[in-house]
Chain A
Amino acid sequence: MNTQRLVLASSLVALNVVLGKVAATLSLPVYLDSIGTILAGALMSWPLAVAVGVCTSAVAGLVIHPAFWYYFVTQAVIATVAVLLLRAGVFNRWWSAVLGGLAIGLCAALVSAPVTAVVFGGVTLSGTTAINAILLASGQSLWKSVLGGSLLIESIDKVSAALIAWFVLRRLPPDLLQTNRRATT
């Protein structure tokens, strides 16, 4: 693998994990650990963007909590959907980035909800647990509660991540982005 690509991919993995930690420090009700994955979709090829997503789970599992390992498929799906949306030009305007974020959130929720329900009994490390508990207390089944909670939190999280990615892609100097695109494709 090209060294330039490898170093950029590992930097974006670290960015994902650090932003996840920053969001937790600021007590925001979102994870924000997929901004690097979306940026990887903008700067690199699809397999590398997926590798960034999967390695984010691996590194977060090593340095934050082992529970992250179970969500590696979610990160791979986020990377795939982000690449497809970026190729369709969804991240060119803020409102289309919001719609793109919703699409990513929907896919992420569908993939992560079974893991949360089966492996963790509907409990996660974030505020999703509170929403799941409210839905469970209202008489919903575990699966419906977890899916409902995941859809809500993932939508908020991925719309935030997509908007930040759109903002960052707009604010970064174009020559910096172009140089990296040339170096990594």
Chain B
Amino acid sequence: MPAFLSAAAVLLGSAISHGAGSMIWLSVPLCVVLAVWARDSRRMVIAAKWSLPFVLPLLAVHGILNASYPVTQRWGFVPIRQSGIDFGLETGLRIWVFAMAVAFLSSVGAQQLLSYLYGSRWVPKSLVVLIASAVSMFHYLSKRAASMSLAQRSRGLARGPGIRQRVNSLLAVVVPLVAVVIVEARTRGLALGTRGLGTSTLRLDPVAAPRAWDWLCLAAVALCLSPIALPPT
């Protein structure tokens, strides 16, 4: 429950301040305070790891390269555009706040999250089963793709730096992988069908969702929509 409440609080807080221009600066201390309150500073590191691949290119692209911002000073031959850096920082902070909210959400265990989603009246149950099944299939297919790639290389398929060799490597994995997907889906479907999950609706044991869950869903939707509803100034 504390994980749900803190996730809901971070999502709601960042959703409120997310879209409104300089208000984004208020979300940062809010996120830090909530991280300290939840005694989980590790989430801040995860959020930083997710947002850094965006923040650094944002600063380089808008602070140095974007010709629509005026050059305010020069470091040798490198032009520095202050307003571009401001834009990059603001957008980077938005992404960090979003990553922080998602990092808090991921503090809820996958099993617990899926159980609550299944028990929620807002989310279609078949969608929850579809996502849960896809996540488990993802791990299985990743291993199959890796073993197929190794098998193709052991049969002499070169994997070099050239684009042609990379495309050949990809095709050598894709076609058998699709065949595996279709065959595996048929096998799994038949196996589930013979165990009582036939053509009727799937029946799993529902777990009652806590009240905080509805707030969490609402806050997540608000957060995802806020940058589109209120674009950066």
Contact = CB atoms under 8 A, between A and B. Distances in A.
Interface of A: 1-4, 6-15, 17-19, 21-23, 26-28, 32, 35-36, 39, 43, 51, 55, 58-59, 61-63, 65-67, 69-70, 114-115, 118-123, 125, 129, 132-133, 136-139, 141-142, 164, 167-168, 171-172, 176-177, 179-180, 183
Interface in B178-193: 178-179, 181-186, 188-190, 192-193
Contact of B202 (A1, A122, A139): A1
In this complex, which of B50, B65, B138, B149 has the most chain A Cβ atoms within 10 angstroms of its Cβ? B138
Given A15-B178, A26-B166, A26-B169, A66 B50 contact: yes
A19 B149 CA distance: 12
Contacts of A58: 131
Given A3-B198, A61-B102, 6 more contacts: A1-B126, A3-B199, A10-B129, A11-B141, A26-B170, A27-B166
Contacts of B131: 10, 13, 55, 58-59, 62
Contacts, number: 195
Contacts of B213: none
A15 B68 contact: no
B107 to A, nearest CB: 14
Nearest to B67: A139
A70 B99 CA distance: 12
A8 B228 contact: no
B134 interface: yes
Contacts of A15: 141, 177-178, 181
Contacts of A180: 182, 185-186
20 contacts: A3-B192, A4-B186, A6-B130, A8-B182, A10-B129, A10-B137, A13-B137, A18-B142, A19-B177, A32-B170, A43-B182, A69-B224, A120-B54, A121-B232, A122-B62, A123-B58, A129-B61, A132-B61, A136-B61, A137-B67
Contact of A55 (B66, B88, B98, B134): B134
Given A63-B135, A118-B231, A139-B68, A18 B177 contact: yes
B189 A4 contact: yes
Size category of the B interface is: 35 or more
Contacts of B170: 22-23, 26, 28, 32, 164
B35 interface: no
Contact of A6 (B87, B133, B141): B133
A110 B61 CA distance: 22
Interface string B191-219: 01100011101100000000000000000
